[in-house]
Amino acid sequence: MGLISLVYVLITLIVAIYFIVKRTYSYWKDRNVFTLEPTFFYGNLKNPNGERVTPIKAASNLYKEAIARGEKFAGLYVFLKPHFIPLDLELIKCITQTHFEHFTNHGLFVNEERDPLSGHLFNLEDEKWRKLRAKLTPTFTSGKMKMMFQTMVDCTKGLEEMLNECEAVNDAVDIKDVLGRFTTDIIGSVAFGLDIKSMKNPDSEFRKYGKYIFQPDFRRKIKIMILNTFPRWFLDNVGFKLTKNEIESFFINMVKNTVEYREKNNIYRKDFMHLLIQLKNMGKVLGDDEETLKGNHNNVSGGLSLNEISAQAFVFFVAGFETSATTMTFALFELAQNQDIQEKLRQEIRHILKKHDNKLTYDAIMEMDYLEKVISETLRKHPPVFLLPRVCNKDFKVPNSDLVIESNIKVSIPVLAIHNDPKYYPDPEKFDPERFNEENKASRPACCYMPFGDGPRTCIGLRFGKLQAKVGLCSVLSNFNVKLNEKTRLPIEYSGDLILSVKNDVWLNLERLNK
């Protein structure tokens, strides 16, 4: 091909790309849906002045402007993909509950053959999701939480030792890092039956891979951008894979070795892995009082494969350590600035522990009403999933409008923006656990509080996540008073592509309390 011909081809390609992008960015305008002006290629993730904007900020800006105009829905562009943003709570209820059959899936990347760790419950779709959800639901009953509870409590010893060391030398604590290591130890023990000791060894492989997923390097950021640019069929045809090979090898081998060792030695342990092994060998989870491995060690009809077990253990680890650590970090950040609330919570913790022989038991945790309110208010101000993902799987006409949401259009429910809307939560910046007393909860409309999602796809692990956070907070607050250290940057900034996190560190000063 001559030079002139090559130039013509390049010019034609550039012009074609320009018009494709231009046509993409007219999607919402053509349908009379309010949106903000997109920037070439970045959509609403870059302002017209060239400043990069996080998905959190982009959704918040759109929400405020659309609500001020009285809109019930709006449109957002994430790179080259249009997202439908429902604002009206009744419409959100339609999407998550009433017309769930139109919005069953999260619309996230999954390819079980090429990327086996992507085949977990949060990503799976349609009938595969329904069947696996039904199988996994019994693993998160209150009985199963009681079964795993002591493992959580055992991990508080390492947490208290680390905090004691910091307090003894009057050293400020990077609480986000400490709690991330604490929850990594819990999930490693509960999900894999391993004593990871990341409290002692911050460079453990579990900790390293967990941090990588939520603090991605340049290569992973490019992959996330590709996911938000190209359609699923294209990704499947070019062999796209999200999970790093070394992460895949680590987790699959870890699960395989754990399962083989337990089956060979008929080991029973009160943890999540034992329940997954039951699903592999019998296709179901046994009752809370059945404490031995039963059945043969070969897959029965409907039983989970090793790859399927690995994917569930992987997402349990990833979601379990990050969301609980972040929730505890935000809770202590708020309590450090509200000493009266902190002291009220501490008095409740100490009073109830005294009733239970100063032992942290499952029943004691369940009695702590004010702790529940503090957790709820923390999740209100700082919800783990700030944009609840859905995808339209068959055309849906929006009630009382002419708009039809087309099949394959992404839907993003702006949870963080709703949780901070003064219409539902007056003075939303104020940290007030009493928003969650029975009277105030009853006065609010449905779907204005969704920290774990809503409808049939509500987070299956919400009980575990809240319980883990409560155990950690009880351990910290019964032993220490916490105050904000000057190294903490205020106001805090958020980061995260799907899970909300603190952009910078949260530093606390600790003061040891007399028992």
- Where is the binding site for heme, in residues? 459
- Residue 333 C-alpha from the chain's centroid: 19
Task: Sort 17 into a burial class: Cβ within 10 Å, 0-12 / 13-18 / 19+.
Answer: exposed
- Residue 189 C-alpha from the chain's centroid: 20
- Residue 296 C-alpha from the chain's centroid: 35
d(CA 211, CA 469): 19
Task: Pick the closest to residue 399 from 99, 76, 115 (CA basis).
Answer: 99
Name, in order, each residue with C-beta under 8 angstroms of 83's C-beta and a sequence gap of 6 or more.
Answer: 75, 76, 77, 409, 410, 411, 412
Q: What is the DSSP code string of 102-140?
A: GS-B-----BTTTBGGG-STTT--HHHHHHHHHHHGGGG
Q: What is the DSSP letter of 436?
A: G
Name, in order, each residue with C-beta under 8 angstroms of 455's C-beta and a sequence gap of 6 or more.
Answer: 96, 97, 100
Task: Pick the closest to residue 392 from 379, 405, 403 (CA basis).
Answer: 405
Contact between 86 and 105 (Cβ < 8 Å): no
Q: Is the dihedral of CA 347, 353, 356, 362 positive or negative?
A: positive
Name, in order, each residue with C-beta under 8 angstroms of 137's C-beta and a sequence gap of 6 or more.
Answer: 460
d(CA 414, CA 385): 9
Name, in order, each residue with C-beta under 8 angstroms of 420's C-beta and a sequence gap of 6 or more.
Answer: 381, 428, 429
Q: Is the dihedral of CA 397, 399, 403, 408 positive or negative?
A: negative
Which residue ranges make up the annotated binding site? 459
